[in-house]
Chain A
Amino acid sequence: MLVSATGPTVDQDEVARFAALAQKWWDTKGEFAPLHALNPVRLGFIRDRLCARHGRDPGAQRPLEGLRLIDVGCGGGLLAEPLARMGAEMVAIDAAAENIGTARAHAEQAGVAVDYRCVTAEAVAAAGERFDGVVAMEIVEHVADVDAFMAALADLARPGAPVFMATLNRTLKARALAVFLAERVLRWLPPGTHDWRKFLKPHELARAMRHAGLIPRALVGVTYNPLGNSWRVSRDTDINYMMMAEKPGE
């Protein structure tokens, strides 16, 4: 009876570990504080553009009701949960099982419905699933093959649907801040994950988008305001920027 005795214990340990990790991810004053500070700007960008496309009022409650979205590289679910609360039917994926376990634990506790899966974008695209919007924030700088990744994102989008991306620019300014960005903003990543030479300039990201058959539609900079520890949208794309591309068709 040794197996049945240890089985539940192991599960309990897993649950406790994920719960502890979730607390870390979601502590707005903790390790991920800078990511939480970035969240309103990103969510606003995604929401406002989806609302414009579907003729909805971004100030309404649950403005994304009924839209099926996918968050690629969801981490602890910092974007996926608010998007689900805005009414979106949410699928969120991450290659790291630990992130998925963490995100799931938190969503369950918060009572938010998100379909978390530990798979790659390519796998979901190959299974034929399509979405009204694709979100891939702060992830393209980590992938080995940008073109293959972008093709998968393009596949996930329904005709006419937007693809939202955010990443770091390959400028001296970004490089100067890379230590800060990598260690403070993106601290959960093991050291050396952010290779400055792999950062994409906006026109390079746009080219990759076009190469995958997407049409780049919007580019905005995101700048940090140390007073008040907040980020805001600006025209300065030198450090961090967000882009939206559209899949042609309809």
Chain B
Amino acid sequence: MLPPMSDLTVETRVDIVIVGGGLVGMTLAAALGHAGISCAVIDAEDPATASADIFDGRVFAIALSVQRMMAAIGLWPHVAETQPIEEIRVSDGASPLFLHYDHRELGDEPLGHMVESRMLRRALYRRLADLPMVRLHAPMKVARLDRDIDGVTAELADGSVVTGRLCVAADGRDSPLRRAAGIKSIAWRYRQSGIVCAVAHEKPHRGIAHERFLPAGPFAILPMTGNRSSLVWTEPTDLARVLVGLPADEFHAEMRRRFGDFLGATEVVGPRWSYPLAFHHAERYIDRRLALVGDAAHLMHPIAGQGLNAGLRDVAALAEAIVNADRLGLDVGGDDVLRRYQRWRHADNTMMLAVTDVLNRLFSNDIWPVKLARDLGLAAVNRLPPLRRLFMRHAMGTVGHLPRLLKGEAL
């Protein structure tokens, strides 16, 4: 007779069980694996699809501090085709007043880098392949998750079991784990959608990023490698849908009206798509043996390009709390670790979420007194070098009480 099923079950024991293998979940695995902490990443997506060779249009601005973390965990050398951001020019519609950030004012390092999503994913797979402490279960789903005083047990769809001290929910904005834990989230939808596409242009961009505040919302031109730029173009949701569905030449004409001719002839390359913009912030990031990171914890307006950076700052703080406990022989999923993580990140993210929300409301309109006030504000910041430098450091992510990884130090 066959033994009962439970005797056949394959059980893997790790320190940290990461549910969700997006950029945030995978970077956490790399940071922990680099520090010798064992972890399992469970991701529903097939790695082959997730790191496909075709450009999918998604590009991220990686802040300087986050780049330092990627270097400290041995990830950055694997990231291909990175484009430094040398300057940022912020303007309000056609107003002659603008704000200008130039990295040379602060030193040799750029303000950040533009990197394609697929390049980050590819780098993560390569890095994780070299880390014996990290196990990737993909494509794979979690059938059941138990969290109790002693640890977590994840039963996977194939019947195997992974146990650990802590479960990290890196399972995206709709986070099933957050819902299952009964953690409430403040959420709303903006009436805007973001249109994303890449544009090839005749003249070089010289590493300059442009953020223009048009009445419908921000229109950002972000430098990519070669003579290419990535667009993040905000429009009311119904209009965005129509625009994305236009024939190629008409879409190009609409794009060009906003883009202008300063980079010569232009052409839309790769896919274009739009997604509705939303906001959410979990009321708390922790529960018994559970920590929320990235989009599972917060989702912000892309106006400042800080969404992924905020998620990766969560990673830096959580990894440090975990490693500190591990190096003292303490429980890596204990309340101490979780409370420390939440104290570190919740207030910081609240501020970032509030700032991005207010900026969007302030700029996404054409009410003249508001426009006058914000233009004077931009001009004032531009004329006050200390304030301007502070804003730049915020964009670079080098302000505040930083986790060691964000300073480029080892854990």
B217 CB to nearest A CB, Å: 40
A124 to chain B, nearest CB (A): 22
Within 8 A of A (CB), among B19-37: 36
For residue A33, give the distance in angstroms from its CB to the closest CB of chain B: 9
A88 to chain B, nearest CB (A): 9
Stretch from A38-46, A185-193, A195-203, A241-249 at the B interface: A38-46
Do A59 and B326 have beta carbons less than 8 Å apart?
Answer: no
**What band does the interface of chain B fall in when counting residues whose beta carbon is under 8 Å from A?**
10 to 19
A86 located at the interface, meaning its Cβ lies under 8 Å from any Cβ of chain B in the complex: yes
Known: A27-B149, A59-B411, A61-B36. A40 touches B327 (CB 8 A): no
Choice from B150, B326, B343, B410 contacting A61 with Cβ under 8 Å: B326
Stretch in B183-191, B294-302, B328-336 touching the partner: B328-336
- Asked if A171 is at the interface of the complex by the 8 Å CB criterion, the answer is no
The answer to whether B149 and A43 have CB atoms under 8 Å apart is no
Who on chain A is nearest to B288 by CB? A29
A81 beta carbon closer than 8 Å to chain B: yes
Asked if B104 is an interface residue, CB under 8 A from chain A, the answer is no
Contacts of B336 in A (CB 8 A): 28, 36-37, 40, 230
Nearest residue (CB) in B for A82 is B329
- Taking a contact as CB atoms closer than 8 A, the residue among A58, A61, A82 that contacts B330 in the complex is A82
Neighbouring A residues of B150 by C-beta, 8 Å: 109-110
- 1/0 contact string of A11-27 vs chain B (CB within 8 Å): 00000000000010011
A63 within 8 A of B: yes
Mark interface residues in A206-250 (1 if CB within 8 Å of B CB, else 0).
000000000000000000000010100000000000000000000
Complex partner residue of B329 from A26, A37, A60, A84, CB under 8 angstroms: A84
With an 8 A cutoff between CB atoms, is B256 at the interface?
no
Closest to A230 in B: B336
Decide if A43 touches B335 in the complex (CB within 8 Å).
no
Q: In the complex, are the beta carbons of A61 and B327 less than 8 A apart? A: yes
Q: A83 at the A/B interface (Cβ < 8 Å)?
A: yes
| Residue A47 interfacial (CB < 8 Å) | yes
Chain B binding surface SS class = loop
A43 touches B328 (CB 8 A): yes
Within 8 Å of chain A (Cβ to Cβ): is B339? yes
**Bound Cα distance from A40 to B410, whole angstroms:** 20
Cβ-defined contact, A29 with B335, below 8 A: yes
The answer to whether A28 touches B335, judged by C-beta atoms less than 8 angstroms apart, is yes
B411: chain A residues within 8 A (beta carbon): 59
Complex Cα distance A109/B331, Å? 14
CA distance A44 to B325 in the complex (A): 10
A residues in contact with B327, CB < 8 Å: 47, 58-61, 63, 86
Q: Chain A 47-85 against B: per-residue CB contact (8 Å), 1 yes, 0 no?
A: 100000000001111010000000000000000011111
Q: Are B326 and A81 in contact (CB under 8 A)?
A: no
Shortest B41–chain A CB gap in Å is 20
Instruction: List the B side residues contacting A44 at CB < 8 Å.
Output: 328
How far apart are B286's CB and chain A's nearest CB, in angstroms? 13
Is there contact, CB below 8 Å, between A40 and B329?
no
A81 to B328, CA, bound (A): 10
Q: Among B329, B330, B343, point to the contact of A228 (Cβ < 8 A).
A: B343
Could you give, for residues 36-57 of chain B, a 1 whenever the CB lies within 8 Å of some chain A CB and a 0 otherwise? 1000000000000000000000
Q: Cβ of B339: which chain A residues have Cβ within 8 Å of it?
A: 228
* B295-346 with Cβ < 8 A to chain A: 324-331, 334-336, 339, 343
B335 near A86: Cβ-Cβ < 8 Å: no
Q: Which of B328, B334, B410 contacts A28 (CB 8 A)?
A: B334
Is B334 in contact with A86, judged by CB distance below 8 angstroms? no
**Closest residue on chain B to residue A80 by CB atoms:** B329
The answer on a CB contact under 8 Å between A43 and B330 is yes
Q: Which chain B positions have C-beta within 8 A of A40?
A: 324-325, 328, 330, 336
Query: A61-B326, A228-B343 are known contacts. Are A23 and B149 too (CB-CB below 8 A)?
Result: yes
Instruction: Determine the chain B residues whose CB is within 8 A of the CB of A28 once the complex forms.
Output: 331, 334-336
Measured CB to CB, the closest approach of chain A to B297, in angstroms, equals 20
B334 x A47 contact (CB < 8 A): no
Q: How far is the CA of A85 from the CA of B326 in the complex (A)?
A: 9
9 smallest CB-CB distances across A and B, nearest first, come from A82-B329, A85-B329, A86-B329, A43-B328, A28-B335, A61-B36, A82-B330, A40-B328, A28-B334
A-B contact pairs, 25 of them (CB 8 A): A26-B149, A28-B335, A36-B335, A36-B336, A37-B336, A39-B328, A39-B330, A40-B324, A40-B328, A40-B330, A40-B336, A43-B328, A44-B328, A47-B328, A59-B327, A59-B411, A61-B327, A63-B327, A81-B329, A82-B330, A84-B329, A85-B329, A86-B328, A86-B329, A228-B343
Q: Name 17 extra pairs, CB < 8 A, besides A82-B329, A109-B150.
A: A28-B334, A36-B335, A36-B336, A40-B325, A47-B328, A59-B410, A59-B411, A60-B327, A61-B36, A61-B326, A81-B329, A82-B328, A82-B330, A85-B330, A86-B328, A110-B150, A228-B339
